[in-house]
Amino acid sequence: MEGTMRGLFKRLLMLQMRKRRRFRAPRGICVVMGGQVVPGQNQVYDISMGGLSFFFVDNGLPVAHHHKTLTISQNGRPAAAQIPCEIVDDLDTGELIFPKQQVKRRCVKFQRLNPQQRDKIRALIKSM
């Protein structure tokens, strides 16, 4: 029970600290992070000008939580590439695909975006 309350409290704090409104992403908006993607996976859940979250299958391998880049695709076509980001959190969804393979929701924060990247993400959000 204590862990559940701690998680709920953490999520409430996170919602209050968000600077930008997040928009729910329609199907077909996916993300490739670190060059590892399987078609139909890595569906974006929500997005803002400050970051996004997406679903992925956790294979149990350790993940380095440092700066990375990601590419956002829309209906299989790149919409914004080489977006610098930082992993903020990996949340359990409670879904199991196979033993030791859980579906998780990864939250990432965008780092410094150049004007072209900012414009592409803004256009993607406006298209939703």
Report whether 113 contacts 121 (CB < 8 A).
yes
Domain-by-domain residue ranges, the chain?
Answer: 22-126
* pLDDT for 33: 80
**Confidence check: pLDDT of 112 > 50:** yes
Rounded (5°) CA angle 31-73-62:
15
pLDDT tops 90 at residue 120: yes
- pTM for the model stands at 0.75
22-126 topology per CATH: Thrombin, subunit H (2.40.10)
